[in-house]
Every structure is written in C-alpha cells, then in structure tokens.
Amino acid sequence: MAIGCLRIGLDDTDAPGGLCTTWLGAVLASRLETAGVPVRERRLVRLNPNAPFRTRGNAAIAVLAEGDPALAFELACAAVEEFAPLDAPMTNPGVVVADRPLPVACYRSAVTDLCTVGDTVDTLDAAGARYRGYGNGRGLIGAAAAVAAEFPDRTYELLAYREPSRWGRPREVNADSLFRAEAATFPQTWDSVDRENDAVVCVPHTPDPVLFGIRGESPEWVEQARSLVLSEPAAFETCWTTNQGTDAHLVAGLCGALREGRSYAVEGTIADRPTTGPGGHVTVSLAEGDERLRCMAYEPTKGFRTVVRALRPGDRVVVCGSYRHGSLNLEKFAVLELAACATIRPPPCPACGRRTTSAGRDRGWKCRACGGKVREPEVVVEERTIAPGWYEVPPIARRHLARPLCRGPPELPIGLDRGNG
C-alpha cells in the first residue's frame, strides 16, 4: 500500500427486505469523493459462502482511496449509522479503515474458512487500524477481510441501482435485451442469463436496491454489455472490482480429511454408479484408499446432473465444491481419465445362436439347447456419454465465487497454492 493510500471496509449492513452492503459502499464512495477523498477502486469482496450467519451472498466491500483516515472513518461510520438498520438483530455492521496493510491471511481465512470477531479485533489492533463494530461486531470480520484482500485473479461487476421510489416494486428489465447483451459479449461477460435454462440470472428478486448486475472480464466489457440492456432508469451505477468467478474459496483437499464449511478441489476415483434420489438429487461417491467422499448434484443444478450421472466407477476426476453436512456439493468437476467400462456376459451359442450359460468355474459357457460350447465370454463395452474435460453447473445454480468455465479451464492442481485442507 502506497503512502496516503486508505482502505475503507464495510460489511453486514444488509437487512432482510432492505439495503445491501454494495449500495451503502457505493454511496460511501461518492461521499468520500465529495469530501475531497479521491476514490481509486471499489471492491466487492465475496467471502466464505458457507459461513454461518453470513449475509445473503456474503459480500463485503472495500473502497480504496487517498486522504485523511480520520475523515474517511467518520464518513463511513456516519453512512452506516444513517442507513443500516442497526436495531435488526441479524444486522451487525463493521467499519474498518486502514492506512497500512492488513495481513492478507485475514482475507484468505475469511474467504476459505471461518473466522472469529476476537481474532479479527486482534489483527486490527496489531495493525493500528481504525474500526467500529455495531451489534455483536460480526461485520468486522468481513470489513477487515475486504480491507486485507489481494486479488491474484479478478473480475468486474457493474451494478445498476434503482431509484428509491421504485424499491420494493417489480423490476422493469427487458429480458430479451439481456439475452442480446450476453450474446454480444460472451464469454467476456457471463451469467446475465442462462441460455440452456432460458432464464434471466442477473436481476434479483429480493427487495434490495439492485436493479441488475453484469459480470465480466473488464470494466470495458461490462460497460459494453450494459449499454445493450433496456430497463427502468437506474439511479446510479457502480463498476466493482471483485473476486467473483475466481474460485478464491477453493482449497486443495484430500478425501477423508475435509472440514465442514470449507470449499475444496479433491482428486479421486469414482467408487460407484451415480444414483438419483427423491427430489431428483444425484449422489456419486469418490474413493481414495479407504476413504470415501459423497458428492451431490442437487435438483436445482438441472442439466448438470446428466453429466454427473454419466460417471462410472474407475473414472479419475477432480471435484470442486463446498463440504457441508458430510457431502461435497458439486460446483464443477473434471474428468481426468475415463475408466474402461466393460462387462462380460454369456456369449451366444456359435451353433444355434441361443444365449449360453456358464459351464462352471473356468469351464467356459455351454448351450443348454444344442450342447455347443464357447470358451470366451462376450465383452460388452459401455458406450460413454462423457469425455475427459471440465463440467459445471449452469448459471442459474452458480455461486458467486465459482469460476465459470467460459473464463478458461482451471489449472490443475486447482487450489494447491491456496493453503492446506
């Protein structure tokens, strides 16, 4: 962090049916600029999607600026106190302002693991940061993580916010224009729509101030897609730099050594044929030595379940997803190597063509009708409907942090540079 650089972090200012943290962050950024604190970057930082008590989408924000830390802190606290519903029990905002770097581990642990308010406060005190926690102070975790974040990979999201008079009313966004915008800019933008499932993805259904969000590789690409979207007038728009779509939540894991609430990439061998349970959820297990790992593709992942069902015992795979309640919930997987799926069955009789039966152990097959004998069984090779490569859930089922395959296949071993299981 250069001299004069400030980072202002906010988290947990949402309330059900109300504001969202990104809106407050955008408002704060504009107030900082008005007060003579130039803003260099606006960051939307997604954190562990499995954290208990997480806010919807577990988003924190950081504003990178230049100026007086005391003034920035005062403005940030004032914005939280003006807009955040401080009396809502589930809303526990945190404000952090630092003019010196926080340890990046503070971010890494909040995106891949579970953190405590106590540890966060220790880190903030050690770094001499200004901070204020409201309620139980839980928002300090995300606010500190957002300030500490470094993005080895980054994407962008343009968020358009609604006029306050329209909040809570149905959104007017032309769906056809979203399909056209994505068609014109994919794969440089993604997840505005889900073509396979004929669904709009980027327009929320919650009563918060977001009108829509366009995700992509650069500010230019999201702007270009946005220029094609027809909608009600937006109050204002902010282009956020973000860790969305980067797999920042994944760490390398080993079968049998996964912890609840973390997200992993795990290599292994398919242990049994996939099964489809009640509700259409698909289960398949991985084996590695004596360890087993149950993997799930739930019904909302739609067509993704078809490729999961095509896996067979012996296939070598890498699976990615969150480990919850003893299962890995698949976000994507790679087939590294397909098993030879062959079964044997009694051959037809060479004389009369009827199906033979076993003549006994190591004695070949025998025709019960004419007495014909065969030594070799018939080998039935199963035609595979899946090829080596990566497969992912559709946009409607994608988590914010999951890197879409349109950004290029993940490098293997995925997650290995990001910490240990």
Give whichever of 100 and 368 is closer to Zn ion, judged by the CB atom.
368
Of 344 and 351, which has the nearer Cβ to Zn ion?
351
Q: Is 47 in the site for Zn ion (CB under 5 A)?
A: no
Helices (H), 65-153: 69-83, 105-112, 117-127, 139-148
Count of residues of this chain found to bind Zn ion when the rule CB under 5 A is applied: 7
Q: Can you tell me the distance from the alpha carbon of 54 to that of 21, in angstroms, rounded to the nearest whole number?
A: 12
Vertex 267: Cα angle to 397 and 389 (nearest 5): 60
CA dist 203 and 50 (Å) reads 23
Q: Which two tokens stand for residue 345?
A: 């069955």
Strands 291-297 and 327-337 come out as: parallel
CB of 364 to Zn ion, least distance (A): 13
Could you tell me the smallest distance in angstroms from the CB atom of residue 357 to Zn ion?
11
Shortest distance in whole angstroms from residue 343 CB to Zn ion:
22
Please say which residue, 303 or 371, places its beta carbon nearer to Zn ion: 371
Site residues (CB under 5 A) for Zn ion, limited to 249-308: none
Q: Which is nearer to Zn ion, 313 or 348 (CB)?
A: 348
Query: C-beta of 350: minimal distance to Zn ion in Å?
Result: 8
Quote the CA–CA distance of 215 and 223 in Å, as a whole number.
10
Q: Are 138 and 53 within 8 A, CB to CB?
A: yes
- Region 340-399 residues binding Zn ion, contact defined as CB under 5 A: 349, 351-352, 367, 369-370, 372
Beta-carbon contacts of residue 342 (< 8 Å; ≥ 6 apart): 379, 380, 381, 382
Q: Which is nearer to Zn ion, 183 or 370 (CB)?
A: 370
Taking the complex as a whole, how short is the minimal distance between the CB of residue 276 and Zn ion, in angstroms?
39
> Which CB sits closer to Zn ion, 96 or 367?
367
Residue 399 is inside which H or E element, if any?
none
Tokens of 5: 């650089």
Indicate the residue among 183 and 351 with the shorter CB distance to Zn ion. 351
> Is beta strand 263-270 parallel, antiparallel or unpaired with respect to 250-253?
parallel
For Zn ion, the closer CB: 40 or 375: 375
- Are 355 and 349 spatial neighbours (Cβ–Cβ below 8 Å)? yes
In the complex, least distance from residue 369 CB atom to Zn ion, rounded to whole angstroms: 5
Instruction: For the chain, state the CA radius of gyration.
Output: 27
**Cβ density class 159-185: b for 16+ within 10 Å, e for less:** bbbbeeebbeeeeebeeeebbbbbeeb
Least separation in angstroms between residue 372's CB and Zn ion is 4
The minimum distance between CB 371 and Zn ion, in angstroms, equals: 7
Residues that bind Zn ion (CB under 5 A): 349, 351-352, 367, 369-370, 372
